[in-house]
Structure 1
Amino acid sequence: MKCIIVDDDPAQIELLTGYVKDISFLELVGTCVDAIEAIAVLEKSEVDLIFLDIQMPKISGLNMIRSLDNLPQVILVTSSEKHAITAFDQNVDDYLLKPIAFNRFLKAVNKTRNSYLKQKPIKKTPESIFIKVNSVLEKVRFTDILFIKADEDYVNVHLKNDQILVSTTMNKFIDKLPKSEFIRVHRSYIVRLDKIEKIDGQFLLIKDEIIKVSRTYKEAFFTRINTI
């Protein structure tokens, strides 16, 4: 989760920055000393979570929340229990009472992350691609692809019982493939991982094709495959 810290107290920013760095799923993208600066950051950056001090000059944290149309997850920071009660009327995820202990911080961010994951839409991995063949777009399922081979100014898509010659580059084609299912093993080859039948040293066997894993792609390839 990408987060920002908004607080006019440098010591508080330093404390929270240290806490954020200890949480693997948090990424600090900025710190702000007032609401005006924070609003500017929100307009130009993707932010999932705000650690927001309530009592600040010019615009309070609560007034900042009221001014935003698309509100990220919010954890309010306050030195007053009274403000903490008010916080929940603003539809925030949690509050932290100063001085902030790390275990309380951890509880708040875990709660907020769970809420964030429930709200975040799940991106469905595409299952196919349309390939232009003689001015007609043909649907090809990714599971039907064995490997892709460079062929001069074309790429040759090898299927179980067919081949399709496509006028494109290997770099452009691999960008259209699910990264979890395909990997480049040579400047001239992209393979579907679950179609590999045998690995002998630096050579792969897919159907009747023997494919060499080049030095450039060797480490990345052997990191991806499941071995025992």
Structure 2
Amino acid sequence: MKHNYIVIDDDYNSVVKTRSVAAGFQNLHFVASAANYDDGLDLILQHLPDIVFLEISPGKSHSRLSLHLINELHRYLKKIPKIIVTSKDNELALEALRYEVLDYFVKPVNARDLRRTMLRFEKNLGTAATPEPHSENLAQKIVDSPIIELPVVIEVPVQETIASGETVGPMVAYETAEAREENPPFVAYGTQQEKPLIICVKSYGDYRFIDATEICYLQADNNSTDIHLNNGEMITAFKTLKHFENVLTSPFVRIHNSYIVNIDYVSRIHTGNAVCYIKNTTTKLPFSKSYKENVDAILNSISNGNYLEI
């Protein structure tokens, strides 16, 4: 029996990893994902999933993700989906117990924990009784689970390699006040496209605004990163690729120790040669085995859209 699930998380990389792990379970079927409270609530009411992976310690405060979403569901639904809480640490595990969640995972989600949770879910499926208490499991996780710190977003000094040869100053990624309140820079699967992230390259009072959708891919160069745009320009930022992996969300995915790719510019993926192609160019980016789950998630993301396979 297939069980539909939704992921509600404001961290795109976490969504990718959760989907990759869940893809290994034949009885789980991905429906959609959202990055904030309102979109998440709407998706649940629209699709009525069996399971919801809910982030309750979001990296972006304006996403308003928390356990209170469960209370809101009781206003509209007689049957509440089973909630699997995900969090960066176990600080809210005891509070989550009071909401009768199915389980509590410290991110990233792993196959072993999910397998045990799904077995317990299947065992109790179709019964009116309350699922088996799993307080001891959660208590053990409180003892054993590591605390994972979220990355700190900082300004990035950059140098733009254009014909003028001009050196520019810090690059600051930001959104308008309206976007911060209503539309985080995450494009949720199955939801309306959000406003694009705007990156400001600032140089002594000169502000250059770049739509993040213009970035095709990022390439590591020792302790700096080359940002390749769709018009052929390249900007060198003096931060590591790891930094950009932490601060960029959808549609940017890391596929190699040296590359982060914008999914929207992927025209072809050749798994045999372990390369992906960039649209309207001759550029081929390699992907490595250590990032295979991310590549699989790219394939899933593309196939879940307006897609025809022949």
If the length of structure 1 is used for normalisation, what is the TM-score?
0.49
Q: Which has the higher strand share?
A: 1
If the length of structure 2 is used for normalisation, what is the TM-score?
0.37
Larger Rg: 1
